[in-house]
Structure 1
Amino acid sequence: MRHKNRFRKLGRTSAHRKALLKNLAISLIEHEKIETGVFKAKELQSYVEKLVSVARKGDFNAHRHVFAYLQNKQATHKLVTELAPKYATRKGGYTRIHRSAIRKGDASVLAFIAFV
């Protein structure tokens, strides 16, 4: 049983999981909407919303904190200067998940995750 287990392991090692979330977050920031598996989307939602909360400050330390997680200058710049200021008055819920389809190959549920 998974009592008190706080996150999904997604069938990956910790380094692989960290890289997966980083790459999904970069794609979401660049395109503002991506389609992925529903469980990956749910994990990505908490990952990105924490970054947006930090990026809302817009100062140098926010840039450093976000860059430490993303390791991508363009995505960091876009998040801190363009996306995060839109949510200055919002207290949370920066992303939305919509279930979209069932993948034909393995019958996995797909979902769109997008910024609100």
Structure 2
Amino acid sequence: MYHGISFRKLGRTSAHRLALLRNMVTSLVKHDRITTTLPKAKELRRVADQMVTVAKLSGSDLVEARRRAHAVITEREVVDRLIAEFPSRFKDRNGGYTRIVKTGFRTGDAAPMCYIEYLDRPQSTASTPPAKSA
């Protein structure tokens, strides 16, 4: 029976699973979107939403928020970005900060693939093609 299953093991030991999720949430905060398999994205969503909640706490206790963020995120610059940008970006949202979009199946093993991204991403000007002059 599947009663009381609180998380996916992802076929890894607990230390490997923790390292995987820490690296993935660091990449997600750094790039705002990453491509991964669907089960990994569903587990990552929990940690990624918790990091935004921690960042929103920085208004009341900055030191505690930075400590809690450094416990999960592995790079200092990424923690700085999390604390600086995310509270204002998600001030009107009380949860559900991420979106998972299915993209098909991986070629080698037919694993279901998707990308996970933070909502309200700033649009980059580099991705839009330059306007042609007449």
What TM bracket, shorter-length normalisation?
over 0.9
* Larger helix proportion of the pair: 1
The superposition leaves residues 55-79 of structure 1 with CA deviations (integer Å, 9 ceiling, x where unpaired) of 1122221111111111320111111
Please, what TM-score do these two structures have when normalized by structure 2? 0.83
Return the offset for 1:33.
0.4
- Kindly provide the amino acid, as one letter, of the partner of residue 28 in structure 1: L
In structure 2, the residue matched to 1:55 is 55
2:78 to 75, 82, 92: 75
SS in structure 1 of the partner of residue 71 of structure 2 = helix
1:111 aligns with 2:87: no
Counterparts of 1:1-116 in structure 2 under 5 Å? 1-58=1-58, 59-116=62-119
RMSD: 0.9
SS in structure 2 of the partner of residue 16 of structure 1 = helix
Aligned residues: 116
SS in structure 2 of the partner of residue 56 of structure 1 = helix
Please, what TM-score do these two structures have when normalized by structure 1? 0.95
Greater gyration radius = 2
Unaligned runs of 5+ in 1: none
The runs of 4+ residues in structure 1 deviating greater than 3 Å are none
